[in-house]
Amino acid sequence: MASDGIRLGLLGLRQAVHEHDLGLEGVHVTRDGEEPVSFRWVSDDRRDIYSVSKTFTSVAVGMAWAEGLLELDDPVLAHLPEFTRTAADGVDELTVRHLLSMTAGIDFRWDDPDLDFAGDPAQAFLATPLNSPPGTKYAYRGTNSYLLGRIIAAASGSDLREFLMPRLFRPLEIGNPQWFRCPLGFPLGAIGLHLRTDEIARLGETLLYDGNFRGDQLVPADYVELMRTELTPTDRPGDNASYGLHCWSCTRDDAWRMDGIYGQFSIMLPNHHACITVTAHYEKPTTDILDAIWTELVPYL
């Protein structure tokens, strides 16, 4: 049973959501030794979790690494050699780790609003001239994540979603999740995974406990440690100042998080043995939601 404190914190968060029109759709709180607590403002339907998808992609890379299918410092072109001939100068130095940390040095944007693309997005990304040497400059681009999915497919023989089905989705009791795909049929990796709030929370709980979900070690603990501690400065303020391996470091409580546009968050709080997950549609700065969580809910953990 959840503590009265958490329930009081949820009441405060609900009031803040109402007063500031924060657009929350659902909140789910997991804390060690207690039953999860949740509250919803709208029906609990699967919806696009936007860039929270990136963390699921990173987890797939960690699993492939543990299985010996790839190394983090492998050159990208070692897994996608079909693009060697058209790759821009310097792309031979690009590694899996650079994609994970958003330091590819390639300023490529996939701008079509319907995610259509004439040709192969991977080929176009790798053919784009570098604007900085790989590993030297942070630039948040979703095609980094898409390339990771392509590498998973090349290394394992299964596309990103199918790779994760037996390894992550089924153990987390996430049945038949859908993931938007590119015109060539590959999951987008960066966005487009559709989940419920509590389904996101199950990965949050797994990462909180070093890759262990209720007794089953799903994600290598040493990879989870890399995700949260191998940080790249972003030149952005506050809770957006440091980027991990497809996740974000928070400036408060030694926390870290999955993060998607419009207020999709799963916040791992190891100091409190807790995970707070929210889904939302909020078109103002989503740090407003983080501030409300820390003001109204975290003190009751």
pLDDT in tens, 127-153: 999 999 999 999 999 999 999 999 999
* Helix locations, the chain, DSSP H: 4-20, 52-66, 76-79, 96-100, 121-127, 142-156, 160-164, 197-208, 221-229, 287-292
Residue range 46-195 in CATH 3.40.50.300: no
The whole-chain average pLDDT of the chain stands at 96
Q: In angstroms, what CA-CA distances link 52 with 14, 129, 195, 197, 200?
A: 23, 28, 10, 11, 8
> Percent of the chain having pLDDT more than 70?
99
- Confidence at residue 112, expressed as pLDDT on a 0 to 100 scale: 76
Residue 81 scores a pLDDT above 80: yes
- Confidence at residue 63, expressed as pLDDT on a 0 to 100 scale: 98
- Confidence at residue 4, expressed as pLDDT on a 0 to 100 scale: 81
193-195 vs 248-249, strand pairing mode: unpaired
Q: How far apart are CA 94 and CA 90, in angstroms?
A: 7
Q: CA triplet 247, 91, 111: central angle to 5 degrees?
A: 60
Residue 115 scores a pLDDT above 90: no
Residue 227 scores a pLDDT above 80: yes
Q: What is the DSSP letter of 88?
A: P
What is the Rg, in whole angstroms, of the alpha carbon atoms belonging to the chain? 19
- Confidence at residue 33, expressed as pLDDT on a 0 to 100 scale: 81
Specify the pTM. 0.97
Cite the residue boundaries of each domain of the chain with CATH code 3.40.710.10: 1-45+196-301, 46-195
The arrangement of strands across the sheet holding 274-280 comes to 37-40, 24-31, 274-280, 264-269, 256-260, 248-249, 242-243, 232-233
- Confidence at residue 294, expressed as pLDDT on a 0 to 100 scale: 98
Residue range 1-45+196-301 in CATH 3.40.50.300: no
- Confidence at residue 111, expressed as pLDDT on a 0 to 100 scale: 77
Residue 2 scores a pLDDT above 70: no
